[in-house]
Structure 1
C-alpha cells in the first residue's frame, strides 16, 4: 500500500507514539482526579504535552494550551466563545466546514453576519477584497493557514496584522500545518491557534486543541467536571481548565506528545517535515502537470505550498479516479468535496470534486513516482476511452 491520504490522517505512526499510548493505557488514572500515583502520572504527562505543543507552535506557555477531541471541536470553542450575538465575522473561501459551519450556525441562530473573502481560480486570496471586508469591522476573523484541498499556504501573518488593525480577534485553523509547516503563534500574532493531533503531529485520533494568547478570554462552550472548584455553580474560568470540561483523553495526549517529540528529535522539526514532504508534492506535481487530460489545482505563485496536490483527469468523476487508484494500484488518496465547499466553487470543481494526494514524512520519492505513473496510465486509458 502507498498511503497518500495524510491530509485526512497520518496512518503510519512512529513506534514511540504506539508505545506511549499503550503504556498510558496501563498506568494512567484520571487527570486531576486524585492524589495517588496513577493520577499524578496522568497529570504530569498532560502537562508535558501542553508544554510540547506550546514550544512547537510558539504559544505563550503550557497553561495556554487546552486539549480537545480534534481541530473541529477547538474551532467551535473558539468561534462560539469569541463571537457574541449580533457581531460580524470574516473568513475566506478556503475555509474548511469546521470554520464555516460554526459561523453559519451563529449567523442563523444569533443574528451574526458572516463575510467571506473570495479565493481566485488559481487558489490565491484576493487581499484587496479582504481589506475591503475588514472595513465592515468584524469582531472575529477566522481563517485557514493552508487549504486542505490545494495545500496553498496563506500569508496569515499579514492577514492577522490587518485583522488586528481593524479591531478583530484572529483565529487560525492550523489543522493542515501544525507539525508539517513552520508555524509560530507569537510571530503571526494570532489570538487563537487551533490544531489537530491525528494529522501531521503524528498523534492518535481523538486529540487536538487550541492555543490561546494572553489576554484572550474565550467563553466556555462546555461546562461540567473540572477536578477543581467543585462547589462552584459554574465552570472555572482559569486556563486551561476553562476550556476542558470532563475527563481528558490522557492516553491519546501521551501519544500526541510522543509524536511531537519524534517530529522535533528525528524529523528536524516542522521545517524538516515541510522540506521533505513539500519536495515530494512538488516532484509529483511536476510529473503530472504536463500529462494530457490532467488538471492540477491551486499551487499559485502568490502562495507558499504545502504537501498536498489536487487534480482531476478529464471529466472523470474524482471518486472513480480514487477507486481506480485504490483497486488497481493500491494507492490511497481522497476524492470528493473534502469538506471545503467554497474552495471547490472557487476552483469550479463542485460537481466533479477533486482527487487529493497528500504527502507526509513517511513517504518517499518512490511513492511519488508510483503515484505519478498511475495518474499517467489512468489519463492515457481515459484518453483511449477505456
Structure 2
C-alpha cells in the first residue's frame, strides 16, 4: 500500500476488526437504532448504547446519554457553537484553530454579531493561559480551544485553561480531533464542559462518525429537528439527551465500527499507543534534520506535540514535494494549508503552505528512513 503518513487527516490502516464488525453488522443485522421493538432492532439499540458507554469511559465520563453522535467533529463543533452562542456573546479561541471552529465562529460573527478574541500563540504554537484569562470579558460565553494543532502538533494547556473557564463560570469546549485516542483525556480533571471528537482519526473508527460529550447543564439548542423514533406525537424536538441533539437515522454501521475501534484502543492501552507514537515522532524530528534545505516548524520536542510535523524544502513548493513523494516513492503526505490558515499565519506560511506528515500507531521507523531518503533524493534529481 506504500507508506501512509497522513494520519492527521484520517488514520489508515484501521484495525481489521473495525471493518469486519461493520461488514458483519450490515450482513447479519442492518437495522436502525431506536426505530423498532423487534429483536434485531433491540440489538442495534444495545450496540449504540454500548458505544456511547465505551466512548464516555475513554474520557472518564459516566453518563452515556450525554454522548451525542454526529457525522464528524465539524458537525459536533457546529452543534455546540450554534446551540450555545447568542447575539453579542463573546468567544475566546486560539490562533491555531481548524476551519471547523474558525469558519463557524466567523459565520456566527456575520450572522448574529458575536465577538471573537483570538489568543495569539508564539511561533511554536505555545499558548500562555494567562493570555486566555486576560481575554475574558463580561459577556464571554465560551472558550473554545483545539487540544493539539493539526499543523504544528503543539499540545495546548487545556487543564489550565479549563480551570480559568471554571473560575469565571464560562463554558469550555475542546476540539480533540488530533488527541482523542492518543492522549489520556480526563474530562473532569480538565474541567471540560463540551468535548468534540471524531471517529476517523486516532480513534481508528470509520469516516462519518463523531460526537459531542455534554458535561454541563447548559440548555443547548438543537442544530436540527426531526424524527427520533420516540415521542412522535410531540411536535417539537424532545428536551432530553441524546434525542434532543440527535435526529434522523443514526449511522449504526459506522457506530458499530467505532465501538470495535474503542475496544481495540482499550486492549492495546492508550499509554502504549502514545508511547509508540512519541518514539516515532522523536525519531522523525531527529532524522528530518538530515534533509538538506529543510525548515521544520513548531516545537522540536516530542513531549510537546502529537505526531504532526510540518516542514518546507527551500526552493521547492510544498505541493511539488508531496506530488513527488507520492508518484516516485509511494509516500503519502499532505501539503497546503491543512484547513488551518490561522496556524499558517502564525508561522509565516499562509501564502505558501507546508508539507505535513501525520504519524500514526501503525507506522514504523523504516517509514521515516524512507521519507528522509526520498526528500534528499528529490533535491538531487
Q: How would you bin the TM-score normalised by the shorter chain?
A: over 0.9
Q: How does 1:312-331 map to 2 (within 5 A)?
A: 312-331=312-331
1:131 deviates by 2.4
Partner SS, residue 366 of structure 1: helix
CA contact (8 A) 2:199 2:258 kept: yes
Match of 1:9 in 2: 10
Match for residue 83 of structure 2?
Answer: 81
Question: For 1:293-349, what per-residue CA distance to the aligned partner results, in whole angstroms no more than 9, with x for missing partners?
Answer: 101111266972111111111142111111111111110010000010100000001
Tell me the equivalent position of 2:177. Answer: 175
| Equivalenced residues, count | 379
Tell me by how many angstroms 1:125 deviates.
1.4
Alpha-carbon offset, residue 357 of structure 1? 0.6
Paired residues of 1:278 and 1:359 also in contact (CA < 8 A): no
Partner in structure 1 of residue 281 of structure 2: 281
Superposed, 1:284-299 pairs within 5 Å as 284-299=284-299
1:201 aligns with 2:203: yes
What displacement does 1:167 show?
2.7
TM-score with structure 2 setting the length: 0.96
- The corresponding residue for 1:268 is 269
Distance 1:291 1:124 in 2: 26
| Distance in 2 between residues matched to 1:302 and 1:162, nearest whole Å | 27
Cross-structure match for 2:54: 52
CA 1:352–1:37 in 2, change beyond 3 Å: closer, same or farther?
same
Partner of 1:295, secondary structure, is strand
Partner SS, residue 193 of structure 1: strand
Distance 2:170 2:302 in 1: 25
Aligned to 2:359: 359
CA distance in 1, matches of 2:300, 2:82: 32
SS of aligned partner of 2:6: coil
Q: How does 1:1-386 map onto structure 2 within 5 Å?
A: 1-26=2-27, 27-135=29-137, 137-265=139-267, 267-269=268-270, 271-299=271-299, 304-378=304-378, 380-381=379-380, 386=381
Within 2, Cα distance between the matches of 1:370 and 1:128?
A: 42
Partner of 1:116, secondary structure, is strand
Unpaired runs of at least 5, structure 1: none
* CA pair 289-217 structure 1, distance change in 2 beyond 3 A: farther
Question: Matches of 1:279 and 1:114 in 2, distance apart?
Answer: 38
Q: Contact 1:124–1:300 at 8 Å: present in 2 too?
A: no
1:137 CA drift (Å): 4.5
SS in 1 for 2:192: coil
Shift, 1:372, TM fit: 2.0
Q: TM-score, normalised by structure 1?
A: 0.95
Q: Measure, in 2, the Cα distance between the counterparts of 1:303 and 1:105.
A: 35
Range that drifts further, 350-359 or 159-168: 159-168
Contact 1:195 1:208 (C-alpha < 8 Å) held by counterparts: yes
> 1 CA distance for matches of 2:114 and 2:187?
27
Does the C-alpha gap of structure 1 residues 58 and 315 become closer, same or farther in structure 2, counting only changes over 3 Å?
A: farther
Contact 1:137 1:166 in 2 (8 A): no
Distance 1:172 1:16 in 2: 29
Gaps of 5+ in 2: none
User: How big is the alpha-carbon RMSD for the aligned residues of Structure 1 and Structure 2?
Assistant: 1.5
Q: Distance in 1 between matches of 2:322 and 2:61?
A: 38
